[in-house]
Amino acid sequence: MTSIGIIGECMIELSRADVSGADASEHNELLYQKRYGGDTYNTAYYLAQCAKSKIDVNYVTALGDDAISDDMIATFSAAGVNTDLIEKIPGAVPGLYAIQTDEHGERSFLYWRSEAPARQLFQTPQSEALKSELLKKDWLYFSGITLAILHPKGRETFFEFCQTFRAQGGKIAFDINYRPRLWASEDEARSIIDKAYTICDLALPSYDDETLLFKTSSPQNAIDRITKLGAKEIVLKNGAEEVYVHSHGQTEKHAIVPATDVKDTTSAGDSFNAGYLYARLSDHDISTAVKAGSNLAKQVIAQTGAIVPVTPPTF
């Protein structure tokens, strides 16, 4: 069975609860509902929903020893995500974010994550044991958010481990997922993200992120830039526009059928990545993988929330 370690941070999500009638009149206060979310966990969740035990999906993070952390782990496990490599740090508590929605339905986020335990990955006493277990995996997957939250020492250790992992035959998938507020500067973000591209077998960037950080002038310009850094297979997502895929020295454009029912674009890219990975890790070709990713993302954005029920792609 193919195995993959997906590395990053999952947080507590608070969003406004839909309260009406008597409850709304009786409570002159904001009511929130609690969920769990984060870019890499979203991908782990959707990959597990597709794979249905055909792929060993491991989520790699650090949480606390509190009741909510325990509930998060139980939730991951119930979704089919392997939790054996989640480290529990005594006294720590998970990061948290709140979703705000304006009158036009646009979402914005407030974060409380500066002391989140995931920031300590690859620099705790358990790091050597974690790396030993990860070396047994076929693939690693992480994002620009993963790199942004790691402390510099842990990030350096992680990059060194990735070199070892690839030298022993492992493969790496990476999505830029650039979030400006997580980085000290654009220069820091560019340097670290480009370093990730140099150790990447499968790059899954979005054109919006590439344009925002690297000021690329066209999808082909973004493909050319990443290719020069060494990524082997590049899948450039561009919203409802065609997907550019570069592999074996050739770039192809794959048309997708735009979604007609869009309620919430949260997790669109994360779920596309899961569908694409599912197809490629199941030995299907690139065209099939693009369709799998696109179809999965369309299911997700037709519903509200980052984690929603989906029907796996069929081949």
Give the catalytic positions in this structure.
270
Contacts of 47 (CB under 8 A, 6+ apart): 4, 6, 55, 57, 274, 277, 278
CA distance 262 to 309: 15
Burial class (CB in 10 A: 0-12, 13-18, 19+), 177: buried
Are 31 and 22 in contact by the 8 Å Cβ rule? The answer is: no
Cα of first residue to Cα of last residue in the chain, in angstroms, is: 18
- 95 close to 118: Cβ distance less than 8 angstroms: yes
The two three-digit tokens of residue 234, written as one number: 């590049």
Q: Tell me the residue ranges of DSSP E strands in 68-106.
A: 87-89, 96-101
Cα–Cα distance between 95 and 93 in angstroms, integer? 7
